[in-house]
Amino acid sequence: MTGRAIFRIVVKAAALFAALNLLFVLLNPLEALGRLSLYNAVLPGRWRLPYGENSAESYNLSLHNIPAMFASHVVAQPKPDDEYRLLLIGDSGTWGWLMENDQTLAAQINAAGDTVDGRRLVAYNLAYPIMALSKDLLLLDEAMSYQPDLILWLVTLESFPRQQQVFPPLVQNNAERMRRLAERYDLNLDPNDPRFVTPSLLERTIVGQRRALADWLRLQVYGFSWAFTGIDQAIPDDYTLRASDFEEDLSWDSFDEPAPFTADDLAFDVLAAGMARAGGVPVIVVNEPIFISRGRNSDLRYNAFYPRWAYDAYRELLDAQARANGWHYLDLWDAIPPDEFTDTPVHLTPEGVLMLSEHLVSAIEQN
């Protein structure tokens, strides 16, 4: 082969590579690719949205492609006619931190075998670790494509601070989705927040998106090991128990000491946006249980997360907002005994989750 022929081949290959990258930028196919999945076809659907960094032990990973996350989940299967579909939205406690899949809130609700309107009550775990209402809204927005009959949205004060709303990497890396929701529902959210990830032209090419493409592929590959083992979380044999004794500290979030705060200080607009996005599908907002300490300085703090003054103010505001807006609201903040909490003030033991599931099933039956 002559040098001129080799040169022509190199030029054509470079031109083809450039054209493919340009086409990739124009089409932005990552979300469409995410909807293509081995799960629920070759592989069974996952019971939790994928999350985790220790993939070697858990056959799981965190990725930012929301359609790919849902396509891997059992909720993507066709909805049977006899199913009353319940979606659970929330944080790591609802997702099932330190729990096997059959110990999670969704699993325990399903184990009860209840019916609603003559249909089987089937709960789907669409919670995701990291506390922020914005992250919940992103997932709820996608979840509406999966024909829910009822949504339980478990919340706690740590999900409400304004600055928290652009903290989760899932929100940061889904900037356009979040901006569209902010515009549609007039959210108090800065669309130019520097924490949003806005890829440059080069970063939108195949080369620039190689990590996102690799994550999608790894999710498919891990599915074989997950299907064989059922392991999607590396659960340690031992962990540090949530604190019961505290310093004389009254700080919370940006407050160093007790101070009046109003509904405008918390992201109630994001909660309202979720209600609006649900449309005619009923939503029950659940103030999830927290650990209530009896240890040193427990007269000042309920737990490591919350001083009493801040949490009490939050409960009053949430109740007032629910009444003013006509939301279905269930306050279970003190429903679980302190011994049933594990490593944080919102993570429950399997026995604690069973207690919570019984409260929630009762509330569903009453509604």
Structural domain total, the chain:
1
- For 172-181, what is the mean pLDDT? 97
- The predicted pLDDT at position 323 comes to 97
Paired residues of 301 in beta bridges:
307
* pLDDT tens digit sequence for 41-100: 999 999 999 998 766 678 999 999 999 999 999 999 999 999 999 999 999 999 999 999
Q: Is residue 118 part of a domain?
A: yes
pTM of the model: 0.93
Which range marks the domain in which residue 209 is found? 6-235+242-366
Q: Residue 18: its pLDDT value, please? A: 65
Q: At what angle do helices 268-278 and 175-184 cross, to 10 degrees?
A: 90
So what's the pLDDT on residue 122?
98
pLDDT bin (cut points 50, 70, 90) of residue 209 is confident
Neighbour tally for 280: CB within 10 Å: 4
CB distance 50 to 232 below 8 Å: yes
Look at 17 and 60; give whichever has higher pLDDT. Answer: 60
User: Which residues have CB under 8 Å from 322's CB, separation 6+?
Assistant: 285, 328, 329
Task: Give the percent of the chain with pLDDT over 90.
Answer: 82
pLDDT interval class at 210 (50, 70, 90): confident
* Sheet strand arrangement including 83-89: 115-116, 119-125, 83-89, 150-155, 283-287, 328-331
- Give the tens place of pLDDT for each residue, 146-170: 999 999 999 999 999 999 999 999 9
Q: Count other C-beta atoms under 10 Å from residue 259's C-beta.
A: 13
The rounded distance, in Å, linking the Cα atoms of 121 and 126 is: 16
Residue 56's pLDDT is what?
A: 67
Domain-located, residue 13: yes
Dist CA 171 CA 234 (whole Å): 24
pLDDT score for 75: 98
Does the pLDDT at position 118 exceed 70?
A: yes
* Cα end-to-end span (Å), the chain: 78
Average pLDDT over residues 270-296: 97
The CATH number of residue 263's host domain is 3.40.50.1110
Is residue 1 a part of any domain in this protein?
A: no
Amino acid 15: pLDDT: 66
Distance CA 259, CA 276 (A): 31
Kind of pairing, strands 115-116 and 119-125? antiparallel
Mean pLDDT of the chain: 92
CA distance 326 to 317: 14
Q: Is residue 231 situated within a structural domain?
A: yes
pLDDT band at 29 (very low <50, low <70, confident <90, very high): confident
pLDDT at 24 over 60: no
Task: Check whether 175 has a pLDDT greater than 60.
Answer: yes
Instruction: Work out the pLDDT band at 20, boundaries 50, 70, 90.
Output: low
Residue 32 counted as domain residue: yes
